[in-house]
Structure 1
Amino acid sequence: MDFDENRYKVLKLPNLMLVHWVMNPGLVFNELVLGQRIPKVTLTDKTSDAPLMERQYVPCPHCHTIHSSDAWPKKGMFGNWFGLLCPSCDGIIPCLWNYTSLVLLAMTFPIWGWLRRPLETRWRAFKKKQLLQNIDAEPTKAKDVSWLKMGLAYGTFMFCAMTLIKFITSELNQQDILIQAAIWLLGGLAFGGVMKFLMGRGKST
Protein backbone atom coordinates (compact mmCIF):
# COMPACT_ATOMS: atom_id res chain seq x y z
CA MET A 1 0.00 0.00 0.00
CA ASP A 2 1.07 3.57 -0.70
CA PHE A 3 0.56 6.20 2.01
CA ASP A 4 0.55 9.99 2.07
CA GLU A 5 4.03 10.61 3.45
CA ASN A 6 3.14 14.25 4.13
CA ARG A 7 0.50 13.10 6.62
CA TYR A 8 1.62 9.71 7.89
CA LYS A 9 4.77 8.36 9.40
CA VAL A 10 5.06 4.62 8.69
CA LEU A 11 6.01 2.48 11.68
CA LYS A 12 7.42 -0.95 10.82
CA LEU A 13 10.51 -3.07 11.38
CA PRO A 14 13.33 -2.28 12.08
CA ASN A 15 11.79 0.41 14.33
CA LEU A 16 13.29 -0.09 17.81
CA MET A 17 9.91 -0.38 19.57
CA LEU A 18 8.88 -3.15 17.21
CA VAL A 19 12.27 -4.86 17.55
CA HIS A 20 11.69 -4.86 21.31
CA TRP A 21 8.32 -6.55 20.81
CA VAL A 22 9.84 -9.21 18.57
CA MET A 23 12.90 -9.93 20.69
CA ASN A 24 11.72 -9.59 24.32
CA PRO A 25 10.78 -13.06 25.68
CA GLY A 26 8.77 -11.41 28.45
CA LEU A 27 6.09 -10.45 25.91
CA VAL A 28 5.21 -14.09 25.20
CA PHE A 29 2.52 -13.84 27.89
CA ASN A 30 0.98 -10.83 26.13
CA GLU A 31 0.83 -12.64 22.79
CA LEU A 32 -0.06 -16.23 23.65
CA VAL A 33 -2.23 -15.69 26.72
CA LEU A 34 -3.70 -12.18 26.42
CA GLY A 35 -3.76 -12.16 22.62
CA GLN A 36 -2.16 -8.72 22.31
CA ARG A 37 -0.78 -8.24 18.80
CA ILE A 38 1.13 -5.47 17.06
CA PRO A 39 0.39 -4.79 13.36
CA LYS A 40 3.33 -5.15 11.00
CA VAL A 41 2.51 -1.65 9.70
CA THR A 42 1.16 1.24 11.79
CA LEU A 43 0.64 4.81 10.62
CA THR A 44 1.12 7.87 12.81
CA ASP A 45 -0.65 11.10 11.85
CA LYS A 46 2.06 13.77 11.69
CA THR A 47 -0.49 16.59 11.34
CA SER A 48 -2.18 16.03 14.73
CA ASP A 49 -1.11 17.24 18.17
CA ALA A 50 -3.10 14.53 19.99
CA PRO A 51 -1.33 11.96 22.18
CA LEU A 52 0.43 9.28 20.16
CA MET A 53 -2.11 6.61 21.10
CA GLU A 54 -4.94 8.72 19.64
CA ARG A 55 -3.29 9.46 16.28
CA GLN A 56 -2.29 5.98 15.22
CA TYR A 57 -3.90 4.12 12.33
CA VAL A 58 -3.77 0.57 11.03
CA PRO A 59 -4.05 -0.05 7.27
CA CYS A 60 -5.69 -3.20 5.95
CA PRO A 61 -3.68 -4.71 3.05
CA HIS A 62 -6.79 -6.49 1.75
CA CYS A 63 -9.36 -3.69 1.32
CA HIS A 64 -6.85 -0.80 1.69
CA THR A 65 -8.97 0.83 4.41
CA ILE A 66 -7.05 2.88 6.96
CA HIS A 67 -8.56 2.26 10.38
CA SER A 68 -8.16 4.37 13.49
CA SER A 69 -6.70 2.42 16.39
CA ASP A 70 -10.09 3.07 18.05
CA ALA A 71 -11.47 0.31 15.84
CA TRP A 72 -10.15 -2.10 18.50
CA PRO A 73 -10.76 -0.28 21.81
CA LYS A 74 -10.56 -1.61 25.35
CA LYS A 75 -11.42 -5.35 25.30
CA GLY A 76 -10.80 -5.42 21.55
CA MET A 77 -7.10 -4.98 22.28
CA PHE A 78 -7.05 -8.54 23.62
CA GLY A 79 -7.86 -11.93 22.14
CA ASN A 80 -6.27 -11.23 18.76
CA TRP A 81 -4.43 -14.55 18.56
CA PHE A 82 -4.90 -14.89 14.79
CA GLY A 83 -4.21 -11.23 14.05
CA LEU A 84 -6.39 -8.13 13.82
CA LEU A 85 -9.76 -8.67 12.14
CA CYS A 86 -10.50 -5.88 9.66
CA PRO A 87 -13.86 -4.23 10.49
CA SER A 88 -14.47 -3.51 6.79
CA CYS A 89 -13.66 -6.72 4.91
CA ASP A 90 -13.16 -9.34 7.68
CA GLY A 91 -9.63 -9.94 6.41
CA ILE A 92 -6.79 -10.68 8.82
CA ILE A 93 -4.42 -7.75 9.18
CA PRO A 94 -0.88 -9.21 9.49
CA CYS A 95 0.82 -8.78 12.87
CA LEU A 96 4.29 -9.28 14.25
CA TRP A 97 5.26 -12.42 16.16
CA ASN A 98 7.60 -12.54 19.11
CA TYR A 99 10.41 -15.00 18.31
CA THR A 100 9.97 -16.86 21.58
CA SER A 101 6.25 -17.21 20.87
CA LEU A 102 7.05 -18.78 17.51
CA VAL A 103 9.41 -21.28 19.14
CA LEU A 104 6.77 -22.28 21.70
CA LEU A 105 4.08 -22.56 19.02
CA ALA A 106 6.34 -24.75 16.88
CA MET A 107 7.12 -27.03 19.83
CA THR A 108 3.46 -27.42 20.78
CA PHE A 109 2.08 -27.65 17.22
CA PRO A 110 1.17 -31.36 17.56
CA ILE A 111 -1.16 -30.36 20.41
CA TRP A 112 -2.98 -27.40 18.88
CA GLY A 113 -2.29 -27.70 15.15
CA TRP A 114 -5.27 -29.91 14.29
CA LEU A 115 -7.58 -27.53 16.20
CA ARG A 116 -6.43 -24.40 14.39
CA ARG A 117 -9.19 -24.19 11.76
CA PRO A 118 -12.19 -24.71 14.08
CA LEU A 119 -10.63 -22.36 16.63
CA GLU A 120 -10.11 -19.67 13.99
CA THR A 121 -13.73 -20.04 12.81
CA ARG A 122 -15.04 -19.53 16.34
CA TRP A 123 -12.58 -16.69 16.89
CA ARG A 124 -13.76 -14.87 13.75
CA ALA A 125 -17.39 -15.07 14.88
CA PHE A 126 -16.48 -13.75 18.32
CA LYS A 127 -14.37 -10.87 16.98
CA LYS A 128 -17.07 -9.84 14.47
CA LYS A 129 -19.54 -9.56 17.33
CA GLN A 130 -17.02 -7.63 19.39
CA LEU A 131 -16.30 -5.21 16.54
CA LEU A 132 -20.01 -4.48 16.18
CA GLN A 133 -20.18 -3.67 19.87
CA ASN A 134 -17.14 -1.42 19.52
CA ILE A 135 -18.94 0.80 17.01
CA ASP A 136 -20.94 2.40 19.82
CA ALA A 137 -18.08 2.37 22.31
CA GLU A 138 -16.26 5.55 23.29
CA PRO A 139 -12.74 5.87 21.86
CA THR A 140 -9.95 4.72 24.14
CA LYS A 141 -7.97 7.64 25.52
CA ALA A 142 -4.34 7.46 26.55
CA LYS A 143 -5.27 8.44 30.11
CA ASP A 144 -7.73 5.51 30.34
CA VAL A 145 -4.93 2.95 30.09
CA SER A 146 -3.61 1.75 33.45
CA TRP A 147 0.11 1.96 32.84
CA LEU A 148 0.75 1.03 36.49
CA LYS A 149 -1.15 -2.23 36.06
CA MET A 150 0.65 -2.89 32.79
CA GLY A 151 4.03 -2.36 34.44
CA LEU A 152 3.18 -4.52 37.46
CA ALA A 153 1.86 -7.31 35.24
CA TYR A 154 5.01 -7.23 33.13
CA GLY A 155 7.27 -7.23 36.19
CA THR A 156 5.34 -10.08 37.81
CA PHE A 157 5.49 -12.23 34.70
CA MET A 158 9.20 -11.66 34.23
CA PHE A 159 9.84 -12.46 37.89
CA CYS A 160 7.93 -15.74 37.59
CA ALA A 161 9.53 -16.68 34.29
CA MET A 162 13.10 -15.80 35.18
CA THR A 163 13.31 -16.45 38.92
CA LEU A 164 10.89 -19.04 40.28
CA ILE A 165 12.21 -21.84 38.07
CA LYS A 166 15.71 -21.29 39.45
CA PHE A 167 14.30 -21.26 42.98
CA ILE A 168 12.52 -24.58 42.41
CA THR A 169 15.78 -26.11 41.18
CA SER A 170 17.55 -24.72 44.28
CA GLU A 171 19.75 -22.36 42.27
CA LEU A 172 18.55 -19.39 44.37
CA ASN A 173 17.96 -18.91 48.08
CA GLN A 174 15.26 -16.80 49.72
CA GLN A 175 17.48 -13.72 49.88
CA ASP A 176 18.18 -13.96 46.15
CA ILE A 177 14.44 -14.29 45.52
CA LEU A 178 13.74 -11.05 47.41
CA ILE A 179 16.46 -9.24 45.47
CA GLN A 180 15.08 -10.51 42.17
CA ALA A 181 11.55 -9.50 43.19
CA ALA A 182 12.71 -5.95 43.90
CA ILE A 183 14.59 -5.79 40.58
CA TRP A 184 11.63 -6.95 38.52
CA LEU A 185 9.23 -4.70 40.43
CA LEU A 186 11.34 -1.67 39.57
CA GLY A 187 11.81 -2.96 36.03
CA GLY A 188 8.07 -3.38 35.57
CA LEU A 189 7.34 0.11 36.91
CA ALA A 190 10.00 1.54 34.60
CA PHE A 191 8.43 -0.31 31.65
CA GLY A 192 4.98 1.07 32.50
CA GLY A 193 6.39 4.57 32.88
CA VAL A 194 8.17 4.46 29.54
CA MET A 195 5.02 3.19 27.79
CA LYS A 196 2.94 5.95 29.41
CA PHE A 197 5.41 8.57 28.18
CA LEU A 198 5.65 7.19 24.65
CA MET A 199 1.95 6.50 24.11
CA GLY A 200 0.64 9.58 25.88
CA ARG A 201 2.87 12.25 24.41
CA GLY A 202 1.73 14.58 21.66
CA LYS A 203 3.44 15.29 18.37
CA SER A 204 7.09 16.24 18.67
CA THR A 205 7.80 19.81 17.80
Structure 2
Amino acid sequence: MIIRKAEYVASAVKADQYPRDGLPEIALAGRSNVGKSSLINRFLGRRNLARTGNTPGKTQTLNFYRVNGAWYFVDLPGYGYAKVSQTVKAQWGGMTGNYFKKRENLRAVLQIVDIRREPSAEDLAMNAWLRGNGIPVLVVATKADKVARGQWPQHLKQISGSLAMEVWQIIPFSAASGFGADDLRAAVEEILGPNPVS
Protein backbone atom coordinates (compact mmCIF):
# COMPACT_ATOMS: atom_id res chain seq x y z
CA MET A 1 0.00 0.00 0.00
CA ILE A 2 1.31 3.43 -0.97
CA ILE A 3 -0.04 6.40 0.96
CA ARG A 4 -0.37 9.19 -1.59
CA LYS A 5 -2.63 11.52 0.35
CA ALA A 6 -3.89 11.76 3.92
CA GLU A 7 -6.09 14.49 5.33
CA TYR A 8 -8.07 15.31 8.43
CA VAL A 9 -11.72 15.63 7.44
CA ALA A 10 -13.96 15.91 10.50
CA SER A 11 -14.43 15.54 14.23
CA ALA A 12 -17.79 14.21 15.31
CA VAL A 13 -19.74 13.55 18.48
CA LYS A 14 -22.93 12.32 16.77
CA ALA A 15 -23.92 10.48 13.63
CA ASP A 16 -25.08 13.47 11.61
CA GLN A 17 -21.55 14.85 11.79
CA TYR A 18 -19.93 11.77 10.21
CA PRO A 19 -18.67 11.98 6.61
CA ARG A 20 -21.42 10.97 4.21
CA ASP A 21 -19.41 9.78 1.22
CA GLY A 22 -19.87 6.10 2.10
CA LEU A 23 -16.18 5.23 1.98
CA PRO A 24 -15.01 2.24 4.04
CA GLU A 25 -13.67 2.95 7.51
CA ILE A 26 -11.23 1.32 9.91
CA ALA A 27 -11.55 2.52 13.48
CA LEU A 28 -8.83 2.63 16.12
CA ALA A 29 -9.79 1.82 19.70
CA GLY A 30 -7.58 1.66 22.77
CA ARG A 31 -6.83 2.99 26.20
CA SER A 32 -5.91 6.63 26.54
CA ASN A 33 -2.22 7.27 25.96
CA VAL A 34 -1.66 3.93 24.21
CA GLY A 35 -0.33 5.63 21.09
CA LYS A 36 -3.25 5.70 18.63
CA SER A 37 -2.39 9.13 17.23
CA SER A 38 1.30 8.25 16.92
CA LEU A 39 0.35 5.06 15.07
CA ILE A 40 -1.82 7.03 12.64
CA ASN A 41 0.95 9.53 11.96
CA ARG A 42 3.57 6.83 11.37
CA PHE A 43 1.26 4.70 9.23
CA LEU A 44 0.31 7.65 7.04
CA GLY A 45 3.78 9.18 6.93
CA ARG A 46 2.53 12.47 8.35
CA ARG A 47 4.28 13.71 11.48
CA ASN A 48 1.52 15.88 12.95
CA LEU A 49 -1.69 14.90 11.17
CA ALA A 50 -3.20 13.32 14.28
CA ARG A 51 -2.59 15.37 17.39
CA THR A 52 -0.47 13.73 20.06
CA GLY A 53 0.25 14.82 23.57
CA ASN A 54 1.34 13.81 27.03
CA THR A 55 -2.13 14.31 28.48
CA PRO A 56 -4.23 11.11 28.35
CA GLY A 57 -7.81 11.67 27.27
CA LYS A 58 -6.88 14.27 24.65
CA THR A 59 -9.08 12.72 21.95
CA GLN A 60 -12.64 13.59 22.92
CA THR A 61 -14.33 13.18 19.55
CA LEU A 62 -14.39 10.69 16.69
CA ASN A 63 -11.74 12.02 14.31
CA PHE A 64 -11.93 11.05 10.64
CA TYR A 65 -8.81 10.93 8.44
CA ARG A 66 -9.34 10.26 4.73
CA VAL A 67 -6.59 8.23 3.07
CA ASN A 68 -5.90 8.31 -0.68
CA GLY A 69 -9.38 9.77 -1.10
CA ALA A 70 -10.64 6.20 -0.75
CA TRP A 71 -11.06 5.17 2.91
CA TYR A 72 -10.90 6.49 6.47
CA PHE A 73 -9.03 5.93 9.68
CA VAL A 74 -11.38 6.83 12.53
CA ASP A 75 -9.62 7.68 15.79
CA LEU A 76 -11.98 6.94 18.68
CA PRO A 77 -11.80 8.48 22.16
CA GLY A 78 -9.49 6.51 24.44
CA TYR A 79 -11.02 4.47 27.22
CA GLY A 80 -9.92 3.72 30.77
CA TYR A 81 -8.32 7.01 31.81
CA ALA A 82 -9.08 7.47 35.52
CA LYS A 83 -8.75 11.27 35.67
CA VAL A 84 -11.50 11.88 33.14
CA SER A 85 -14.84 12.51 34.84
CA GLN A 86 -17.52 9.82 34.86
CA THR A 87 -19.75 12.15 32.84
CA VAL A 88 -17.14 12.47 30.11
CA LYS A 89 -16.52 8.71 30.17
CA ALA A 90 -20.22 8.11 29.68
CA GLN A 91 -20.31 10.56 26.77
CA TRP A 92 -17.32 8.87 25.13
CA GLY A 93 -18.87 5.45 25.62
CA GLY A 94 -22.10 6.63 24.06
CA MET A 95 -20.30 8.11 21.05
CA THR A 96 -18.26 4.98 20.49
CA GLY A 97 -21.13 2.57 21.04
CA ASN A 98 -23.40 4.44 18.63
CA TYR A 99 -20.65 4.49 16.03
CA PHE A 100 -20.04 0.75 16.29
CA LYS A 101 -23.73 -0.10 16.16
CA LYS A 102 -24.83 2.23 13.37
CA ARG A 103 -21.87 2.72 11.02
CA GLU A 104 -22.50 0.37 8.11
CA ASN A 105 -19.24 1.21 6.31
CA LEU A 106 -17.09 0.17 9.29
CA ARG A 107 -14.87 -2.65 8.02
CA ALA A 108 -12.79 -3.47 11.10
CA VAL A 109 -11.39 -2.13 14.35
CA LEU A 110 -7.71 -1.91 15.16
CA GLN A 111 -7.56 -2.47 18.90
CA ILE A 112 -4.40 -0.84 20.19
CA VAL A 113 -2.72 -2.25 23.30
CA ASP A 114 0.62 -1.49 24.98
CA ILE A 115 3.05 -4.36 24.43
CA ARG A 116 4.53 -3.74 27.89
CA ARG A 117 1.29 -4.24 29.77
CA GLU A 118 -1.19 -7.02 30.33
CA PRO A 119 -4.52 -6.09 28.72
CA SER A 120 -6.74 -4.17 31.14
CA ALA A 121 -10.31 -4.96 32.07
CA GLU A 122 -11.37 -2.30 29.55
CA ASP A 123 -9.24 -3.90 26.83
CA LEU A 124 -10.80 -7.29 27.54
CA ALA A 125 -14.33 -5.87 27.57
CA MET A 126 -13.79 -4.00 24.30
CA ASN A 127 -12.31 -7.04 22.58
CA ALA A 128 -15.11 -9.31 23.78
CA TRP A 129 -17.79 -6.81 22.74
CA LEU A 130 -16.36 -6.37 19.24
CA ARG A 131 -15.99 -10.09 18.65
CA GLY A 132 -19.38 -10.80 20.18
CA ASN A 133 -21.00 -8.32 17.80
CA GLY A 134 -19.27 -9.72 14.73
CA ILE A 135 -16.98 -6.74 14.16
CA PRO A 136 -13.58 -7.83 12.81
CA VAL A 137 -10.82 -6.80 15.20
CA LEU A 138 -7.06 -6.70 14.65
CA VAL A 139 -4.85 -6.25 17.72
CA VAL A 140 -1.78 -4.01 17.40
CA ALA A 141 0.73 -3.94 20.26
CA THR A 142 2.35 -0.51 20.26
CA LYS A 143 5.50 0.84 21.92
CA ALA A 144 7.53 -2.20 20.85
CA ASP A 145 10.66 -0.04 20.93
CA LYS A 146 10.26 0.24 24.72
CA VAL A 147 10.90 -3.50 25.14
CA ALA A 148 14.01 -5.47 24.15
CA ARG A 149 13.18 -7.51 21.07
CA GLY A 150 14.16 -10.72 22.83
CA GLN A 151 11.37 -10.07 25.33
CA TRP A 152 8.65 -9.57 22.72
CA PRO A 153 7.56 -13.25 22.67
CA GLN A 154 6.75 -13.33 26.37
CA HIS A 155 4.85 -10.03 26.18
CA LEU A 156 2.91 -11.08 23.08
CA LYS A 157 2.12 -14.43 24.68
CA GLN A 158 0.69 -12.66 27.71
CA ILE A 159 -1.46 -10.42 25.52
CA SER A 160 -2.65 -13.28 23.31
CA GLY A 161 -3.50 -15.41 26.34
CA SER A 162 -5.56 -12.64 27.91
CA LEU A 163 -7.44 -11.99 24.66
CA ALA A 164 -7.86 -15.69 23.79
CA MET A 165 -6.15 -15.41 20.43
CA GLU A 166 -3.00 -16.65 18.74
CA VAL A 167 0.29 -14.77 19.07
CA TRP A 168 0.62 -14.48 15.28
CA GLN A 169 -2.66 -12.56 15.19
CA ILE A 170 -1.06 -9.63 17.04
CA ILE A 171 1.10 -7.09 15.21
CA PRO A 172 3.96 -5.59 17.27
CA PHE A 173 4.39 -1.96 16.28
CA SER A 174 6.65 1.00 17.03
CA ALA A 175 5.69 4.51 15.99
CA ALA A 176 9.22 5.61 16.89
CA SER A 177 11.09 3.18 14.62
CA GLY A 178 8.38 2.25 12.16
CA PHE A 179 8.66 -1.45 12.96
CA GLY A 180 5.44 -3.24 12.09
CA ALA A 181 4.20 -0.55 9.70
CA ASP A 182 4.58 -2.77 6.64
CA ASP A 183 2.73 -5.64 8.32
CA LEU A 184 -0.03 -3.28 9.38
CA ARG A 185 -0.35 -1.81 5.88
CA ALA A 186 -0.64 -5.31 4.45
CA ALA A 187 -3.34 -6.17 6.99
CA VAL A 188 -5.27 -2.98 6.25
CA GLU A 189 -5.03 -3.65 2.53
CA GLU A 190 -6.44 -7.12 3.06
CA ILE A 191 -9.30 -5.71 5.14
CA LEU A 192 -10.21 -3.09 2.55
CA GLY A 193 -9.74 -5.21 -0.56
CA PRO A 194 -8.09 -4.04 -3.80
CA ASN A 195 -10.27 -1.11 -4.87
CA PRO A 196 -9.89 1.35 -1.97
CA VAL A 197 -6.10 1.15 -1.98
CA SER A 198 -5.34 0.85 -5.67
Same topology, TM > 0.5: no
- With the shorter chain as reference, the TM-score category is under 0.3
Q: Which has the higher strand share?
A: 2
Q: Write 1 or 2 for the structure with the bigger share of helix.
A: 1
- Higher radius of gyration, 1 or 2: 1
Could you tell me the TM-score, scaled by structure 1's length? 0.27
